[in-house]
Structures are given as structure tokens and as C-alpha cells.
Structure 1
Amino acid sequence: MRSSTLVAFLATGAAARYIHRVEQITRPSFPHLIKPHLVARDDEVCTSPSCQLAAENYLANFPSNYTEMDPCENFDQMICGGWLDKNDFRPDQATIGIGSTMSEEADNILRVIMENPYATNSTPAGVNATLDRENFDKMQSAYKACVDLDAIKAAGAAPLQEIVNELQEKFPLNAATKSTAAISSGELTDIMIWMAQYGLAPFVSAGTAADDKNPDTVIVSVGPGATTMAKQYYNNTAFVGNLTMTMAAMFSAILDNATDYTELAAKVVDLEGRIATVEPDPEIISDVTYYYNPMTLAEADALVPAISLTSLIKAQAPASYEPEFIIVQSPDYLKDVTPILESAPRDTLQALFMWSVISSFGGRIDKDINQPLRAFRNFQAGRPANATSDRWRTCLDEVDSVAGWIESEAYVQRAFSPEAKTFGDEIVQSLRDVYADKLQSLDWMGNDTKRVAIEKVKALNQKIGYPTISPNVLDPVSLRDFYANLTLSSASFFANGLSATTFELARTWAQLLAPADKEFWFMTASTVNAYYNPSSNEIAFPAGIMQQPVFDLDLPEYVSYGAFGSVAGHEITHAFDDSGRYYDQTGAFSEWWDNKTLASFTQRTQCFVDQYSEFAITGLDGAPLNVNGQLTLGENIADAGGVAASFEAWKMRDQADPARNKALPGLEFFTKDQMFFVSYATWWCGRSRLETAVNRIYTDPHSPPMFRIRGTLENSKAFLESFQCAKKEPKCELW
């Protein structure tokens, strides 16, 4: 967010210039359009400072030849071409876009807060100032420890070496037969339990989650562990070679500089690659019909005799917890990984455990020691080898991670108004109303299914801005109680990381003894994002996403509806995408769609799969790499449904009060309808480095930004009509 001084400075000269031009303006020629549009009266143009700034930003985002471009064919370039030309990556960035620019604005606010003393005059009336300051001090301690590079350098590798040394004691090598010493199930289980206290899960992960079929209850869920790379990269010589060299270098730095660990590292990478081959693909692991496999502990143990899941779970769960069943996300994975573990050499297993520790906590030691690890991560993302984020940026991420709700309080008090929250609620509610009407009129959905779908929309729990329960970020007492068991110190960045891990593990496992907390948020207030949670049938929009250019009370409403409204509609649509459709109005996993409705849904969604599978980026080898239309199906459905619902909701408000949708100065050649889509597309201006873009094709359920513009608008009847495109019907249509 820009300061008021900057806004006034930018707007002062622009206002007179644009107002003077209104009478003379003519619409630039879009080659394919027939009817020109002209605003001829000053009172139809918004000339406020906010409108001046927004107009300047839009115009700066356009390429110089945008008036010669066909929006029906090149809308992403027409709206974002100038932005892409003017904005390049910082060395530490793998992705840039309007969203990252918004995050920068939030970070600038937070940096000032973190680097200054507690502001006694900022405590809201009626708030316990003493507790508020104590919370602030706890948060600031995390920041101070993180930015204290001298202390981090003085500590050297010792904090990490201490954990690695303990690991070697817990899982020692046999001096005579390092590679072939027998490994018992109990021994492997013990080391897995030891690693779990650090949040590490190299083979099998165990955690807690709401029971999909009984979402008021929290249960244990067991799934695959984590490998260093996506499975596709273990067949890539460059990535395998780079990872091998990185492991060897980090082993030397932490263990013994005189030893060459290249051969051992190669064995670890090979073991990871074998594990990766049996991991479920990302498009199925998120499918509730695939991962919801309730089993008793005995049944689960039988799948993976190399590890006692019963012991692993009981070591972390509260002593009084006795599960009737657990969820095994991928029984096939547990069966297939067992022979891999049983045949792995002992020294390779120990080295893999050490790598898990080093790769997870290596970022907390001196940068000169962890340089190989940083270089590998830069290689993965396509950044320069020695790229490093400004320390203050790294430390804001640290604070968000370890004390995010205290940080949220600080952000909300300075950057989010009650009026913004009210307007956000209005937008989301208007979309829910539209969605209920749209569902009622669907001709392919059966009446019984339609009834539950409408009930589901009406039952949605919408969360706007920040949490007021679990914890209430505006209540110092609530924040103090939430973080009561978290110890943070300005003396040790490394120790803070361990403390935060211990705190979070204890908090999540303790949930097994209580009903599911449906008031808890999964994003902090400054986050530029939003989400839908099916098990609680909730949509959440942090304050961070409710800022320009996505959202602003002082701009014409087509701006906020085009961007933020489409985001809100996107999240609502997730309730009915290929995953959300399995959850009813209570958040319970159930088959509530009739067969005819399901058949129609499957036929219509296949269109989206085929459409997006035709989009391609350039791969690492220079050949086209196609989008995975199945992996991205849910997000693509949500994009299409979100835009359609938001446009309809906005049109109803515009018809009721057209004065809320004046033209922006210099953009009078766009109709109001067209400006809605300009705002939508602007939200997706951005790009990623090649390596990052490729990795996202493999693993990310979201399509690349340019295809979220092209594909979505190919499927928007309102867009095609607004720009008078030759093709009048959407390519794919669902909601």
C-alpha cells in the first residue's frame, strides 16, 4: 500500500491532464470491433486521486500498441504486455506478478513495524496495552534473531551439527559392515519417531486432519513422506547431478571437510528416486475417493512391516488418545515403499536421514556454510546461483511462520479498515446469492442434487480479513493464550525454529482430543491469497488480498468485482468442482449427486480437461510442455465459475446504482463491462522463471497465469459479448 503522500503526488498533475482530455477523447480502434464507445461528460469520469492512480497503473500495464491488438485473441498480452516489459525478476525471485507486488506493499508495512519499537499510541481503545506490548515483543524477538547475522555466523554449523550427531547416535553404523548391517522394524521406527519431533518425515508422514466423513472430528492421517524433488526430475541428469553435488558439499560442511561424500550422496539420490517412483501422482493424491481409506492400526501396520505406524502415531498423539481407525492416504504407496526400505543399505538410510535434517534446517545456519544448499534451490527455481533475498524479507517470512497471528494484529490495525471488511462481506454475499440462483436454473443438475447444492451455498461460512476466534487477533488476551507455550528469543534464530516446530506439532496433535476447530484460519491476515476448505464448507479472504489493484472502496465497483469478486467466486466454485462436489452442506464426504447429474458433470468437465491440455509452455529441453488438464481441472473450473458469478453479481449492482461505476480517466474507450475483464486479467499479470514454470506444470494444480486469462475468457460468454468477439459461445461451460 502506498503512503498518502505518494498518492497525492502522483495524482496532482494527472488530474488536470485527464479532465482536460475528456471532452476531446476518441476511442482507439480495436480492429475487430464494430461499435465505438465514447464517454462525453465529465460527470461520468471518476477523477479522485484513487481513480487517477488506478488509471495510470492500468495504462502503464498495457503495451504501447494495445489499441491495435485483438482482445478476443490476445487479451493477456493486451492487458499485461506493458507490465511484463517493465517488470523483471529480482535475483531472489522465481515468480513475479501483481500478487507479488501486493505482497511487497504488505511487507513494506510490516517491515516498518518490525524495525521500530512498540508504538504506545497505536494501542486501540479498550485493549490491554501491557499484554499487547508483550505479544509484540515476542513477535519482534523472532525478527531480531533472524536479522542478527553476526550471531548466526558466530554460531556457525554447531546447532545443526548437534542434531546430526544425535541422529548418528540414534541410528549408528556398524563399524564392520556399514552397508549391510541388518535393520529391524523397531530400529527404523525409533529413528522415524525421533525425526518426527523435528517435523521430518522422509518415508511416511503422520498428522491430524478433520475426518472427511465426520468433519466435526479430528483423526490421524498417514501418507507419503517428502522427497527433495518431484518424481520427474530423478530422470533428469542435470538435476540429479546437481542434487548429488549439493548433498556431498553439505555433508562435507556439516560432517567432515576431509571426506569426499560424492559416492554416498549418489546413493541417497538414487534411493530418493526409487521412492519417488512409487509416490502417487499429484492429480490423485488430492482426490478424496483415492485417499480416504479408513483402517485400524493393525491393518495399516500390515501394509508397511518395515515401520510400526502404531508406535509412530502413539509417540506423537496424546497419551489418552485411542483411535478407532486412521486414514491411510495411499495403501499402494505403503506396500510399494516397504521393499525399497528393506533393501536399502544402512549407510544410505543414515545419510538420507541426515540429508532430511540438513535440508530442512540448513537455512538457519550461516550463509557461507549453507551456500551449496542455497545454490541448489536457486538452480531448481532458475535463479542465479548466488541469489539471496534481502535479510528483512527472509525475516518477515520467519515472523509470519512462527508468530503469524501477532503479525496479523499489527497488519490489520494499520492496513485494513472496518469499511473494507464490510465491503468485502457485501461482495462475497452478493456472489453467494447469484450462485444460489444459478444453481436453481441449471438444466443438467437433478432436483434433489440441486436442493443440497443450494443449501451448501447458503451454509458457506465466509471469513473476511482476519480471524476473530482461534485466536481473535484483535484481542491481546486471545493471542497471549494461543502462543502461551511458544518460546521465542532474540538470541538464537536456530533455537526459534526448533521451538516453533515443537509448538506447532504439539498444537496440532492435541486437536485429537477436541472437536474440529472450524474457526481456525489457514492463512495469516497479510497473505495475498484466499482459500476454500471443504471439510468446514468455508471460504476465507485475508486482508492482504483486499488492496489495490484487486480491491478498493474508492474505485468503480467493476475493479473490485472484476478481480476480488472473481477470486471470491472462484473459492465458492471450489465447493462444486471435481473435489468439492464430494462434500455436502455440512462438509461431510458423501455421494450426494445423482447418477444423471454426475454423468453431465463429467461430460462437461472433460471439455475443460481437453481445453487446458492444449495449452503449453516451453520445457527445459526447448520442446512444448503441455499443461496437465486433469491436475488443473478444479482450479480451471473455479476460474470459469468465479468470473461468471462475479460478473452477474456486479451487473445487478451496476443496474441498481450506475454511479458506482464511472469510467477511469484515460480509459473511457472501454465500456464498463469491458473494464470488469480488464480488472480480472490485471490480477493475473505475471510470469515465472523457466525452471519454476516447468516444476509447476508437474506439481501445481493451478494453470500458468496467461492461461488463467486465456482459458477463462474463452469460457466466458459475458467477455465474448462485451468485446463483440466473432465467437459468441463459450468453449466450455459448467456453471
Structure 2
Amino acid sequence: MALLFATTASAGAVHGIQSGDINRDGNPCTDFFDYANGSWRKENPIPDYMDRWSRRWQSGEVNKEHVRDILTELSARSDWPKGSAGQLAGDFYAACMDESRIDALGSKPVLPWLSEIGALQDAAGMQRMIGKLHDMGVYVPFIVYAGEDLHEPSRTVAHIYAGGLGMPDRDYYIKTEPRFVEARAKYLAHVARMFELAGTAPEQARKNADTVLAFEKRLAEASFDNVQLRDPKLSDNPTPFADLPRLVPSFDWAKYFDAAGMPHDAVNVTQPRFLQQVEKELSSTPLPQWKTYLQWHVLRNGADALSTPFVQESFAFNGKFLTGATEMKPRWKRCAEATDQQLGEALGAKYVEKYFPPEAKARMQDMVKNILLAMDDVIGELDWMDEATKKKALEKRATFFPKLGYPDKFKEYAGVTVSRDSAWDNLVAASRWNVADNRSQVGKPTDRSRWGMTPPTSNAYYNPSQNEIVFPAGILQPPAFDVNATDAVNYGAIGVVIGHEISHGFDDQGAQFDAQGRLANWWTPEDGRQFQAKGQCVVDQFESYFIEPGVHHNGKLVLGESIGDLAGAKLAYLGYLKSRKGKGPEPTIDGFTPEQQFFLAWGQWRGDETRMETQRTMIQGDPHPIAKYRVNGPLSNLPAFKEAFSCKVGDPMVRAQSDRCEVW
């Protein structure tokens, strides 16, 4: 697949949006999602191995080709110094690609783990096994992960999270709607089949599946739902280390933390009720049931590093059933993804050298500056916020910390042993290193140079505790960002993403963190009420968006992302206008004004065709709305969109003044 656009300024003239993608029979004022790139979607059906498709997702798949090319080059050499980035990434990829060797091994790599679990004799041994599984990233039944202290983000502490479920979230175990009943039946069959592949007799495998589902259901019943997970106050439970035994007396926390190399400092227990349920399981669930549960999660987590039957069975449930994809991704893509996930910074330097030139970073820096300044203007002009709260908001905005492209220093993965002999052993070794790397931060000052995504990742994020917005080089590629595109197109695509991430600092979650990244209230009571009311407008808007009869968005679940899209589009547009000061207007291209190009760029970037199975999964647990509503929802609130396309009051893409939502 070729590059969509050139990525260096020398490659050609400045261009606008993809005018051929537009559905000329559509009406931008009726359904902008259909208008912006309806023709492209019609001519480019979702590939069998994908759950959604657009130029944005196509770009992500092209990006994996870039990663593959780098890994192919690295793996072609066998003379890399042992432990070097080239050796680690190259050999990891080569072992993953050696399908015949993996298939010849069958279930052999996982059998020692299953046997060790099966031989456990007592609760102490079982707890040691939990620690051993955590060492390699199999977090059951809870998760311990390093992160900033919510009240003193300059230091890093251990957070204890709920974990240990094999389906997407708690509702799959509890709700009675037909789609959840079907999911449980499919899951039972899936778990049984995986045990059979590992050598368990069919009848016992079915019993094992019953045990797993019952065990996980009890954990699910004690877990937060997806809306509760979005409230940082609910997850804020600082706990002295000495109090952990009182919360879960049956677990030897001192031995666990010592084995993990973590100090006995205070921790944050995100869900105390969940840990109370863990205590019930530890004190009353028979050891054989625990062993079955642990064995299942070893199989579940390691399936993709095992032989083809395991991979296919994992895909049958997690791919076909949950997403609607009808075939697996090619092996090279799965191996490129796995290498990036486990050793992404080992190939990061080569990636940015080839695909993120200095002029791209300079242009991004200028865009980020303009959009941050636009946020200052928006805050200053708010008529519903008093001066005291505005001052705090502007203080927070002033401490935003952008990260663009790649870390200043790449991880060196010292001590990881990777060879071409065993994809399974490589996965275990790399996972152990990543877990240990994370644990090593507990009790130390927070290292702001660390990144939560690898350089080739086609995504972005906002971290409230560090008040940082992060854009890896992988997302700074066409069509999101192109140094040869007009400002209108860049601000309409990646610019809205920049504004979106900035807005997360002021959405329903981010607004609870102050300028220093502390979970602390900086709002006056009246301004807080106004903010809540403006958010409720967004909740109500998205509750009205259905994907099929009886199934609509959960407005509270998608509130943060929808505030991000709404404010992001506004901020990016204002940033674009700011960028043109002193330069004059950009040209009309293919009959579209710069203002129209801006909005079309967003519609084309975000215009995913999404399988219905994936939409159902997203509606249930994804805080992001379906793509159609990420396009039409925010734009229908923006006067600038109405003016750009001469839409009229009463058009579907123009919300009535009384219904129009505006948070920022």
C-alpha cells in the first residue's frame, strides 16, 4: 500500500482535502458524515481483517507496513550486538514470523505453566503463582501498576486496580439483554475449546469453563461499571501499606511487594469493594477452582504466541464475535504489532528517522502553540465563569506540557534476552522487563520523560496527573498531518486531535485536576454547577444517538470524549484563524473554501465505517462515540460550521439555539 501523501515539503505542491472522497449527492447540512467521505467509504469496504475502516485507519495500517519494513531490515541481519535495539527487535519479530516452528511446538510452551499451576498444593503456593503471573503481565485477579500519586503527582506510587476478567467488562457477566446472554454462551464455548487445545478432555474442559465464568462473574459483580470508572474521585483511596492486610488479610502483601521489588509505601486502592471480593475468594473458594481460573488466564494471555489453533480460537471470540471481523490480520501485521507493543522504543529511533522529519516536528509545535493560545482566548471570554475560576483555569492551561513525536531518550531494554528460538519465551521475557520497568518507578520522583505510547503508535493521549498532551510520530502522518497540506487541512485533522487532547484537561475528568496535576477542586461552587449543566447538555445529545432500535449511546460514558471533540473542533478552528494572521486567506481548492476544507478534513479523518458488532461493543464500554456521531455531534453545535456551508436553522446539522451545547 503506497503512502497517501508525501511527507516532506520537497515532494510537491501544497494540497487540500480529498475532494474525490466527497459524496456529491449528499448534503453537508443534512448528514455531514455521509457528505464528507461517503464516496470513499462506498468504494473502500472494510477489509475482512478490520472492524472499521476510513482513511484514518488505512493510514494506521500503512504505518504498520513502515514498522514491518524496519523490522524486516533489522531481522535480516544476524550480527547485531547482543542486547542492542536491532538484535532485540529483529529477533523478536523473526521468531514471531517463524510460524512453522511455532506450529510444530503446539501447546508445549504453555504446558509447564499449566502444570506448575496444576501442582499447587496450598494457598501460599497459589499466592506465589499470582505474583509470578503478575511478573509477566498476567494480572489476575487484581492489577498492581505504578502511576502518579493523585494528590502529589511529583511522586510515583503503586495503584491496585480491579482485573481478572476475560470478557470486555462487568456488564457482559451481569446484564440480561440477549446480546449479553449470547456473549456468555460464546465465552463458555471459547474457554472450553482453549482448554481442549491445551490437552484437557472435553467434559473436563466444559467444567473448567463453568468454573471460570462463575469465578469471573463474582469478580464482575464487585467491580465498577464503565461510568464509575470515569470518576477519579471514586478511584481515589490512598491506603497506608499497613492497612492492606486489614483489607485483604488472606493475602501476604509484604511478601508480594518484596518479590516484586517495590517498597512498602502507601498505595492507592482504586476499588476497595473489589479487593473485599478478592478476600472472599481467597478465604472460601476451593484451591482447584483457583487453579482452573489461573490456568485459563495463562492460556488467554498467551494464545497469540502459541500455534495456529490457539490463535484461531482466540480470534473466533475476540475478533469474529466481538468485532465482526471475518478473518485474522496477516501474520506480519500481528508480529509487527506485538514487537511494537513489547519493544516499541527499540525500533522508535529508526522509525522517526524515516517517517518524522524535523520540519514536521517544527510545524506541529507551531500548531500546538496556536491551539493552546486559542484555549486561553476561550477561557478569557467565557461569560459563565467568574474571574477566580478563570484564573485557576488559565494557570492550568499555562502548565500544559506537550510531547511531540518521540522521547528525548529511548529505552534500552537492558537485560532482556530475546532469541529466534521461541516466540513464547520472547513474549515472557519482554513482558517481564516491561512489568519490572514499571515497578521500578514506585517510591521515586515521577519521571516526566517517560512516554505511555511508543513512537510508531497511531494515537494520542492526555495525562491529567502530568497535565501533558502526547502525540507519537505514528499519528503525525497523512491524512492526519502532512507538511504538504494547507493549514486548513492540517488544523481540521490533527489540529482537532490537538484541541481534543487539550480539552481533556477540562472535561468531566480532567477538570477535577489542578494546574499541578493534583486531584483537587479549583472551581467555585456556582461555576462547578454551570459546568455540570453544560456537560449534561452533551450527555442528553448523545443519549439520543442510536445505532439500532433500543441501543443508544450512554451519554455519561462518552461525555469526556464528546466534550473533547466539541471543544477540539472549536479550538482547532480558532487556532487555524490565528495561524493565518499576517498571511492572508488560503486559496479555495476544488471549489471548497479554506473554512470548508477545515471541516471536511475532520469529517474525512474521523469518518469510519464501523461493523455493527464493533458498534455494539463500543456502545457498551468504549468512552468514544461511534464515528458518525463524533463527526455530526460536535459540528452540529458549531456556528462556524453552519456559516461555512451556509446551513439554515432547522437543518439536521444545525441544532436549535435552545439545544446547542457549548462547554468550552
TM-score, structure 2 as length reference: 0.92
- Aligned partner of 2:309 in structure 1 is 368
Question: Is residue 436 from structure 1 mapped to residue 386 from structure 2 by the alignment?
Answer: no
Match of 2:517 in 1: 587
Match of residue 551 from structure 2: 625
Superposition pairs of residues 58-73 of structure 1, within 5 angstroms: 58-66=18-26, 69=27, 71-73=28-30
Taking a change above 3 Å as real, the CA distance of residues 200 and 415 of structure 1, as seen in their structure-2 partners, is same
Partner of 2:172: 233
Q: Select the structure of larger CA radius of gyration.
A: 1
Give the equivalent residue in structure 2 for 1:450: 390
Name the residue aligned to 1:550.
Answer: 480
1:518 equivalent in alignment to 2:473: no
Q: Report deviation, 1:365.
A: 0.9
* Contact residue 317 and residue 512 of structure 1 kept, 8 A: no
Q: Once the 2 structures are TM-superposed, how far is the Cα of residue 276 of structure 1 from its aligned partner? A: 1.2
Aligned pair partner of 1:153 in 98, 103, 107: 103
Structure 2: distance between partners of 1:311 and 1:716: 56
Secondary structure of the structure 2 residue equivalent to 1:422: helix
The structural deviation recorded for 1:415 is: 1.1
SS in 2 for 1:327: strand
From the superposition, tell whether residues 514 and 644 of structure 1 become closer, same or farther in structure 2 (CA, over 3 Å): same
Count of residues in correspondence between the two structures: 648
Secondary structure, in 3 states, of the residue corresponding to 2:505? helix
Deviation at 1:165, TM superposition (A): 0.7
The one of 274, 280, 290 equivalent to 1:333 is: 274
Q: Report the Cα offset of residue 655 of structure 1.
A: 4.1
1:252 counterpart residue number: 196
Deviations 1:544-592 (A, max 9, x none): 2222222122221100001111111111111111111121112122111
Return the match for 2:235 from 291, 308, 312: 291
Q: Distance in 2 between matches of 1:344 and 1:513?
A: 34
User: Partners in 2 of 1:259 and 1:281 — Cα distance?
Assistant: 34
What is the Cα deviation at residue 526 of structure 1?
1.6
Query: Once the 2 structures are TM-superposed, how far is the Cα of residue 335 of structure 1 from its aligned partner?
Result: 2.4
Distance apart, 1:64 and its partner CA:
4.5
Contact 1:559 1:676 survives alignment (8 Å): yes
Deviation (angstroms), 1:96: 2.0
Aligned equivalent of 2:144, options 206, 216, 240: 206
Residues 513, 7 of structure 1: alpha-carbon distance in 2 compared, 3 angstrom cutoff = closer
**Structure 2: which amino acid aligns with 1:706?**
K
Instruction: Specify the SS of the correspondent of 2:157.
Output: strand
Residue 695 of structure 1 aligns to which amino acid in structure 2? T
Tell me, in whole angstroms, the C-alpha distance in 2 between the residues paired with 1:383 and 1:412: 33
**Corresponding residue number in structure 1 for 2:155:** 217
Identity of aligned residues (%): 27
Does 82-91 or 567-576 show the bigger shift? 82-91
Matches of 2:70 and 2:561, distance apart in 1: 35
Q: Which runs of 5+ in 2 are unaligned?
A: none
| Aligned residue in 2 for 1:733 | 662
Q: CA deviation at 1:310?
A: 4.0
Q: Which moved more, 1:482-491 or 1:89-98?
A: 89-98
Report the Cα distance in structure 2 between the residues aligned to 1:561 and 1:7, rounded to whole angstroms: 18
Question: Which of 561, 573, 579 is matched with 1:647 structurally?
Answer: 573
Q: TM-score with structure 1 length normalisation?
A: 0.84
User: Structure 2 vs 1, CA of residues 7 and 188 (structure 1 numbering), >3 Å: closer, same or farther?
Assistant: closer
- Could you tell me which of 581, 587, 591 is aligned with 1:662? 587
Residue in structure 2 matched with residue 403 of structure 1 by the alignment: 343
AA of the residue aligned to 2:434: E
Of the three residues 590, 594, 602, the one matched with 1:672 is 594
SS at match of 1:588: coil
Query: How far did residue 196 of structure 1 move?
Result: 1.7
Q: How far does residue 49 in structure 1 lie from its aligned partner after superposition?
A: 4.8
**Aligned-partner Cα distance in 2 for 1:448–1:517:** 32
Shift of 1:306: 3.9
Distance 1:415 1:282, change over 3 A: same
Which of 283, 287, 291 is matched with 1:350 structurally? 291
Cα deviation digits, residues 581-617 of structure 1 (max 9, x gap): 1211121221111112111111111111111111111
Distance 1:50 1:526, change over 3 A: farther
Q: 2: distance between equivalents of 1:60 and 1:226?
A: 47
Worse overlay, 88-97 or 422-431:
88-97
Corresponding position: 1:304 with 2:248? yes
| 1:264 pairs with 2:208 | yes
From 93, 104, 107, the equivalent of 2:50 is 93
Deviation string 1:448-500 (CA, Å, 9 cap, x unpaired) is 2211211221221111111113x2xxxxxxx5xx2112221122111110001
The DSSP-based 3-state class of the residue aligned with 1:238 is helix
Stretch of structure 1 that moved more, 566-575 or 256-265: 256-265
Q: 1:24 corresponds to which residue?
A: none
Q: Distance in 2 between matches of 1:246 and 1:644?
A: 46
Q: Deviations over 1:192-245 (max 9, x none)?
A: 223222222222221211101111111111121131112232343322222112
**Pairwise CA distance, 1:356:** 0.6
Q: Aligned-pair distance for 1:130?
A: 8.3
What is the CA distance between 1:369 and its match in structure 2? Answer: 4.3
Q: Which residue of 1 aligns with 2:642?
A: 720
- Helix, strand or coil: the match of 1:222? strand
Per the TM alignment, residue 718 of structure 1 is displaced from its structure 2 partner at its CA by 1.1
CA contact (8 A) 1:579 1:634 kept: yes
Counterpart for residue 560 of structure 2: 634
Residue equivalent to 2:420: 490
Q: Distance in 2 between matches of 1:529 and 1:245?
A: 34
CA contact (8 A) 2:257 2:264 kept: no
Distance in 2 (CA, whole Å) between partners of 1:524 and 1:590 is 30
1:467 alignment counterpart: 407
Partner amino acid, structure 2, of 1:232: D
| Of 691, 702, 718, the match for 2:624 | 702
Alignment partners' CA distance in 2, 1:463 and 1:549: 20
In structure 2, do the counterparts of structure 1 residues 310 and 464 end up closer, same or farther at CA, with 3 Å as the change threshold? same
Q: Contact 2:370 / 2:578 at 8 angstroms: preserved in 1?
A: no
Matched, 1:507 2:457: no
Quote the Cα distance in structure 2 between the aligned partners of 1:337 and 1:147.
39
The 3 A distance-change label for structure 1 pair 86 and 51 is farther
Q: Residue 390 of structure 1: CA displacement?
A: 0.7
Preserved contact between residue 7 and residue 50 of structure 1 (Cα < 8 Å)? no
SS of corresponding position for 2:515: coil
SS class of match (1:288): coil
Residues in 2 aligned to 1:284 and 1:317: alpha-carbon distance in whole angstroms: 31
Whether the 8 Å contact between 1:582 and 1:591 is mirrored in structure 2 is: yes
Q: Superposition RMSD on alpha carbons, in Å?
A: 2.5
* CA distance in 2 between partners of 1:720 and 1:642 (Å): 17
Structure 2 counterpart of 1:690: 612
**Structure 1: which amino acid aligns with 2:437?**
R
Amino acid at match of 1:697: I
Cross-structure match for 1:126: none
- 1:317 aligned to which of 236, 257, 261: 261
CA contact (8 A) 2:238 2:269 kept: yes
Distance in 1, matches of 2:3 and 2:52, equals: 25
**Alignment partners' CA distance in 1, 2:192 and 2:404:** 47
In 2, Cα distance between equivalents of 1:306 and 1:143: 42
Q: Counterparts of 1:162 and 1:152 in 2: how far apart (Å)?
A: 16
Question: Which moves more between the two structures, 201-210 or 707-716?
Answer: 201-210
Query: Residue 308 and residue 444 in structure 1: after superposition, are their counterparts in 2 closer, same or farther (change >3 A)?
Result: farther
- Whether contact under 8 Å (1:632, 1:702) holds in the other structure is yes
Does the CA contact (< 8 Å) of 1:99 and 1:528 recur in 2?
A: no
Unaligned segments of structure 1, at least 5 residues = 9-47, 121-128, 173-182, 472-478
1:89-126 deviation per Cα after TM superposition (whole angstroms, max 9, x unaligned): 22221222332111122122222222235899xxxxxx
Aligned to 1:125: none
3-state SS of 1:291 partner: coil
Q: CA deviation at 1:147?
A: 0.4
